[in-house]
Amino acid sequence: MRRLLSLGSALSLATAGVGGYALYASWSWPFRTALFPRVIALPLLFLALIELALSVWSAEGAREGRAVDFQFTDTVEPVLARKRTIAISLWTLGFLALIVLVGFPLAVPIFVFVYLRIAGREPWALTIVLTVVAWLIMEGLFDRFLHLPFPEGWIFALWT
Amino acid sequence: MLQAFIDGLFVVFQWQTFLMMLLGVFIGFWVGLLPGLGGTTTLALMLPFIYKMTPAEAFAFLLGMHSVVSTTGDITSVLFGIPGEGTTAATILDGHAMAKKGEAGRALGAALMSSLIGALIGAFALALAIPVVRPLVLSFGAPELFMLAIVGIAFISSLSGQGGRALLRGILAGLVGLMFALVGQDPQAGILRFTFGQLYLWNGLDLVPVLVGLFAIPEIIDLAVRGTSIAGELPHENLGRGVWVGVRDTFVHFWLTVRCSLAGTFIGIMPGLGGGVAQWIAYGHAVQSARSREERAGFGKGDVRGVLGPGAANNSKEGGSLIPTIAFGVPGSSSMAILLGAFFLLGIMPGPDMLDKHLVLTYSMVWTMVVANIITVAVSLFFLNYLAKLTLIRGTVLIPFILFFAFIGAYTSNNHLGDLLVFLAFGFLGYVMIRCGWPRAPLVLGFVLGRIAENNFYISTIRYGPAWTLRPLVLILIVLTVIVVCFPFVRFKGKPLMGESLS
């Protein structure tokens, strides 16, 4: 049961779901539109189900399946690691919410300031200097010099 | 021809041309470093400035800028784990892992020197290949290009781990990447696929937010979890001193660097394939160079060969992609398509004239790429030691800036808030993939090759029916795919899996 509920099983199931949905969606498409998605989706569904079965029923050897990719740090206590992962995920989502609400030019200095003070517990002087640096890069380089079109925040859009 | 080759060099060193090249190099240097700015976009932004330049000055300016972007993009990839350019993502896997081991200087030295060698080989391939490349390009039709994409995905999938389970996950990741590439309007009939009623998805998923998300988010999470600087609490005495070790590594693994450069050049020549593909194929080849399972297991954890391969290939492909652009007017990549625009702006027609009437100009382009890269690497080497020390900055200070550049980098691809959602979604996917031991490289390659593979598959099927599978070059590529998948099993047959020898 534990293996069935593992993250690996969930990923395999989601992958199989992508393959299955692609086959289902391609049903209503003309042949030339559906041809390639079907060619990809069929083996995707089949192999994902094999991977799912392997995840559930076969114990993965410590040596098998290691990806040539970077590995997460395993020297931090798991409970603390989970707590920090959730915290940084919330900060990231908070940054996105801030960008949507007040727009990039304001969100960047606000986020840098709040993160440095609250999450980083950095001293006031360093926090202020780095916030100004972030604002200068945002305003000077991306906004004034490169003229990137940053959308207005939703809050300001209410007044315009 | 030799006289034209020498004259090309003199043209680059005329003071106006040289000055334009330096200006281009300066811009390209910063464009490469900043994740928010792409080389292709900047090339497009710079086009209006070339109207009043002579052709030699204009190409010195544009190519000087474009040819160093990948070189300095590697610096951001190594130091912060964010791809400075879409073409430098593969460098992250081992380059950033080295930075986390306190070997940022060595990784940077290796990345820059391999980039230089790659650029030189690409440039000289351009010089040598122009007269003979025509039959090669013409022998590759749609069926061969489709099979080339399949070989690439099979290659990177088979090298993404150890054992059958890793191969299965590698192939699955490649297929998922191909699936993501199908989002948007179908190129044949214009029918919408997997867009879920969202206008944003009509043009498909953009490579930049996908790449930045897949690579930056897991690195940011890991940095936050560790609660230290990128280099951690390792001894820091050698941090900035490793640059010359990295430079030496390039010559220790010189043939690997040369082979990856040649692979990059070849992929550059093939229209439609590009730097996004070249770096991963080169990375796959670098992994393949491992002599034992233990050596292979070291890739992704900071093996310098994982830096040398992509570093060389993403620069050599520039020379390669110029070949079809100059010789036939067929751009090898999106940036070359923009460069083609520059040809027309300057009133020059690419094609046979470039090998005859404008031969000196053609060779001046070769020399521009050579000189620009030499200048960039020489200048960079002076302060790499200081750059490497950025990995000592506390994670809590770096994280808001890395997030800032990652968000901006993702946003600038389409200037749409949807890019930010794609960035976060792929960041989550990247995190889950690493947690579950699925490799990310095949997914990226599948995503990059998806559209190319579909177009060529469709053309092959419609034009030749099932008979396309019997074309001689296709048969060779099918056999090559089988070899590529089976090779790791055959090579390591009878040798213990990683860990067995230790236990």
Nearest residue to B251 via CA among B117, B108, B95: B117
- Dist. CA B448–CA A31, nearest whole Å: 24
Q: Judge: A67–B300 Cβ closer than 8 Å, yes or no.
A: yes
Predicted-complex ipTM score: 0.92
Residue B490 burial by Cβ neighbours in a 10 Å radius (0-12, 13-18, 19+): exposed
Q: Judge: B301–A85 Cβ closer than 8 Å, yes or no.
A: no
Q: Which amino acid is at B192?
A: L
Q: Which residue has the higher pLDDT, B419 or A65?
A: B419
- Dist. CA B471–CA B464, nearest whole Å: 10
The CA-atom distances, in angstroms, between B159 and each of A42, A69, B173, B180 are 23, 11, 12, 22
Tell me what pLDDT residue B75 has. 83
- DSSP secondary structure, B278-313, as one string: HHHHHHHHHHHT-SSHHHHHTTTS--THHHHHHHHH
Q: Does A128 touch chain B (CB under 8 A)?
A: no
Q: Which amino acid is at B124?
A: F
- Dist. CA B201–CA B210, nearest whole Å: 13
With the C-alpha atoms ordered B341, B343, B348, B353, is the resulting torsion angle positive or negative? Answer: negative
Q: Which of A54, A85, A108 sits opposite B221 (nearest CB)?
A: A85
A48 chain-B contacts, CB cut-off 8 A: 172
- In order along its 503 residues, chain B shows pLDDT tens digits of 678 778 888 888 888 889 999 998 888 888 777 665 667 667 776 777 787 788 888 888 988 888 888 778 888 888 877 776 667 778 888 888 888 888 888 888 898 899 889 888 888 887 777 667 666 666 778 898 888 888 878 877 776 666 778 888 989 999 999 999 999 998 888 899 999 989 999 989 988 788 888 888 988 898 899 888 776 665 555 555 678 888 899 999 999 999 999 888 888 877 656 666 788 888 888 888 877 777 777 788 888 898 998 888 888 887 887 877 787 666 666 677 778 778 877 888 777 677 777 888 888 888 888 888 888 888 888 777 777 777 778 888 989 998 998 898 888 778 888 999 999 999 999 999 989 889 888 898 888 788 888 888 988 988 888 888 899 989 998 998 888 777 766 665 655 544 433 32
Helix, strand, coil percentages in chain A from 3-state DSSP, rounded to 5: 70, 0, 30
Q: Does A52 touch chain B (CB under 8 A)?
A: no
With the C-alpha atoms ordered A6, A11, A17, A23, is the resulting torsion angle positive or negative? Answer: negative
Tell me what pLDDT residue B501 has. 36
Its pTM stands at 0.78
Length of chain A: 160
Do B238 and B102 form a contact (C-beta atoms < 8 A)? yes
With the C-alpha atoms ordered B387, B392, B397, B401, is the resulting torsion angle positive or negative? Answer: positive
Tell me what pLDDT residue B235 has. 57
Q: How confident is the model at residue A150 (pLDDT cuts 50, 70, 90)?
A: confident
B299 chain-A contacts, CB cut-off 8 A: 68
